[in-house]
């Protein structure tokens, strides 16, 4: 028998890790970009990619697994409006996150091979802008998901 309190704790901790890591890496990447320091960008881009693999990716998987297990334990319907809205928003965030990870990898690779003293190439600036614009709706949507988890409307 699965323990509800343990599952809920894992679910909450993983959501905190997911949101906190995302917000932290977003902030540090923006600040490094604003600095126009190639070395700061080089270290930050490499760290952001690593953080996504170490923290974000496992947290996403844990969120999905613990969420489904909690739904079963609480007897909530997978056809409820609440769950359908949650899963659609989860997928929407994922549809932004996957390309963002690809962009982060490309940003890291561009900056890694940039010769010392060279200005940031236009491609880097374009990707950085796209990355930034994709981050805002992703974070906003996660906040909406948090609210839906707390208030559970339509249940």
Question: In the prediction, which pLDDT does 141 show?
Answer: 97
Residue 57 has pLDDT above 80, yes or no: yes
Any residues with CB less than 8 A from the CB of 104 and at least 6 apart, and which? 29, 45, 48, 49, 52, 131
Question: In the prediction, which pLDDT does 33 show?
Answer: 96
Question: In the prediction, which pLDDT does 108 show?
Answer: 97
For 86-127, the pLDDT digits (tens) are 999 999 999 999 999 999 999 999 999 998 889 999 999 999
82: confidence class by pLDDT, cuts 50, 70, 90: very high
Residue % of the chain over a pLDDT of 90:
94
Q: 133 with 30: CB under 8 angstroms?
A: no
Angstrom distance (rounded) from CA 145 to CA 152 = 10
Q: What six digits make up the tokens of 23?
A: 């917000």
Question: In the prediction, which pLDDT does 154 show?
Answer: 85
Task: Write out the DSSP string of 83-114.
Answer: HHHHHHHHHHHHHHHHHHHHHHHHHHHHHHTP
**What's the whole-number average pLDDT of the chain?**
95
Question: In the prediction, which pLDDT does 3 show?
Answer: 93
148: confidence class by pLDDT, cuts 50, 70, 90: very high
27: confidence class by pLDDT, cuts 50, 70, 90: very high
For 126-144, the pLDDT digits (tens) are 999 999 999 999 999 999 9
Mean pLDDT of 16-36: 95
Question: In the prediction, which pLDDT does 2 show?
Answer: 80
SS3 of the chain: helix, strand, coil, percent, to 5:
85, 0, 15
Residue 36 has pLDDT above 90, yes or no: no
């Amino acid at each position: 028998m699965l323990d509800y309190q343990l599952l809920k704790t894992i679910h909450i901790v993983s959501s905190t890790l997911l949101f906190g890591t995302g917000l932290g890496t977003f902030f540090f990447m923006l600040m490094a970009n604003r600095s126009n320091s190639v070395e700061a960008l080089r270290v930050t881009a490499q760290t952001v990619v690593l953080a996504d693999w170490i923290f974000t990716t496992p947290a996403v998987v844990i969120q999905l697994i613990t969420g489904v297990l909690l739904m079963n334990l609480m007897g909530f319907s997978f056809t409820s409006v609440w769950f359908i809205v949650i899963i659609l928003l989860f997928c929407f965030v994922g549809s932004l996150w996957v390309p963002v990870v690809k962009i982060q990898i490309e940003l890291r690779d561009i900056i890694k091979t940039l010769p010392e003293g060279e200005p940031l190439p236009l491609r880097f600036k374009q990707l950085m802008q796209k990355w930034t614009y994709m981050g805002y709706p992703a974070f906003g949507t996660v906040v909406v998901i948090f609210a839906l988890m707390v208030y559970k409307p339509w249940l």
